[in-house]
Amino acid sequence: MKHAAKEKPAKTPKPGRKKIALIIILPAVAIIAVLVFFNYNYIYGVISPVTSRIFNGARADTQETIDEGDEIEITDNGEIEDTAGQSDEGSLPVSTDDLNEAETISKYTGNESPAADKEKNDEEEKEDDKKEQGTSPSIKLEIYEGPIYSEADDVCYYRVRAIVSGNPQPKISFSKDDSRGWLGQGKAQVNLKRNEGQYTLTATAQNNLGKASGSLNLSWGCNRSPDIRGINISPGTVYAGGQYEISADAIDLDGDSISYAWSATGGSLSSSSSNPARWQAPSSPGDYNITLTASDDKGNKSEPKTLKVTVRAASGPVTNNTSVVGYVDVSQEQLVSLFTRRNSSKTERAARLAPLYIKYGKMFNIRADIAWAQMIHETGLLEYTGDVKPHQNNFGGIGATGGGNPGNSFATEELGIIAQYAHLAWYYFPTHVNQYCTMEYDPRHFENAHIHYTGDTRLGFLNGRWAPGATYTDKIALFASEVFGI
């Protein structure tokens, strides 16, 4: 029996010599190509700056040696001619394209020729030398703020700055600087006092090349606004619906004429531009503001000044049916207002009497406004045009029965006022109300008893008793109402 023949293993084919050569050569070629590429770029990078420097630095001489012993000449048409006949071994080749490139760069920079380029460089060097040498300073002064008035210091000030030039930067100094450097470099403040006259501000700018000066004449040029020191209302106690005088204490230190502008949050003004002015209080009680602004003829305005007024409920006008008994609060200003409204020459005496009328009105529990109105009626606003004379201090016409009879006299004004109240009490109270309610103080306190008391406390009760006429109290009622602005 024959055995089957064993299979022989397949032989691995060996690469041929050609394949081996390709495997070795191809990578080598690739490496060489890479090296050639980078070497070319390297060589070009070396040659290009050299050629650029050669042609950018060319002089007027058209012949330039590229390498030692190798000279070329640039012709009019841009071709290169080797003046030595041929290049020496080892010299760097220069192509026409390189020369054209150099020429293009030269034209781009504005150098039409090496000579023009040299001339420009010389000019630039001179300019640089000039800058290095510097310039002498110059200075000019100008006002940038002012004149402005400072009320706190009572000065008129200007703020001035210096406009300078020079190299190096000049140092600036002023003959006067009231800001003490606070405004910064090159600025100064000059304060001028009233009536000081003109001041000439000088400033100096100086550097190492020289010095320059400038000046500016300054004088008082400020005009101040008016000043409102206060607002007054008379009478001081205000009742709804009443009329009152408002006045301002205003001054202008420059002597300018002053105009006024009043306004109120309630009521009405008879004139909004006069001083004094009349204000009618609103009909509703409450707090109201009266505001004033003053202006001078230069257009300057004061700060607004406001007076807060409390308006009380009105008690109504005084009539013949109004009770004399029962003190009603009234101020000294309200009493005197009847004199100030009329520009009376007796206002000073009235201001002296008013506090006494208030004091004894409270002590007798009698309305001071009515007693005051009676005094005005009897004395004719203290003018004393009848039988009674001013020195008598008789304010109620006590004892003056007419026909030239001057009536009683009293040693002081206070005693005359006490006598008037005591005589009113003789009519309106059943008995003495205090220690003054006697014949000692009232000569007409007959029998030292209140024999005329009937219980009638109305103002009209005095008609035909204090005076014979039936309308004696009518004018008293009108004056009493006016005390409250009614």
- Looking at the structure, tell me whether residues 72 and 153 fall in a common domain: no
Q: Is 392 a domain residue?
A: yes
- Looking at the structure, tell me whether residues 77 and 33 fall in a common domain: yes
- Looking at the structure, tell me whether residues 206 and 236 fall in a common domain: no
First-residue to last-residue Cα distance in the chain? 167
Look at the alpha carbons of 256, 258, 259, 263 in this order and tell me if their dihedral is positive or negative: positive
Instruction: Give residue 52's pLDDT.
Output: 52
- Looking at the structure, tell me whether residues 400 and 336 fall in a common domain: yes
Instruction: Give residue 13's pLDDT.
Output: 52
Contact 170, 207 (CB under 8 A): yes
- Looking at the structure, tell me whether residues 348 and 396 fall in a common domain: yes
Instruction: Give residue 30's pLDDT.
Output: 73
- Looking at the structure, tell me whether residues 210 and 192 fall in a common domain: yes
Q: Is 477 a domain residue?
A: yes
Q: Is 360 a domain residue?
A: yes
Q: Is 428 a domain residue?
A: yes
Instruction: Give residue 2's pLDDT.
Output: 44
Helices (H), 79-141: 96-108, 114-133
- Looking at the structure, tell me whether residues 439 and 422 fall in a common domain: yes
Looking up residue 234, the CATH number of its domain turns out to be 2.60.40.10
Q: Is 80 a domain residue?
A: yes
Instruction: Give residue 478's pLDDT.
Output: 94
Q: Is 321 a domain residue?
A: no
Helices (H), 289-346: 332-340
**What are the mean pLDDT values of the chain's consecutive 10-residue runs (486 residues total)?**
48 58 71 63 54 48 44 48 46 48 48 62 65 84 92 91 94 95 94 90 95 94 88 82 86 89 93 90 89 91 93 82 89 91 94 96 95 96 93 94 89 97 95 94 91 91 91 94 82
Q: Is 308 a domain residue?
A: yes
Instruction: Give residue 344's pLDDT.
Output: 94
Per the structure, the count of domains in the chain is 4
Q: Which of 218, 250, 270 is the last residue of a domain?
A: 218
- Looking at the structure, tell me whether residues 358 and 446 fall in a common domain: yes
Residue range of the domain that includes 54: 23-85+92-113
User: What is the pTM assigned to this prediction?
Assistant: 0.44
Distance CA 457, CA 321 (A): 9
Q: Is 317 a domain residue?
A: no
Q: Phi and psi (nearest 5°) for 154? A: 55, 50
Instruction: Give residue 299's pLDDT.
Output: 84
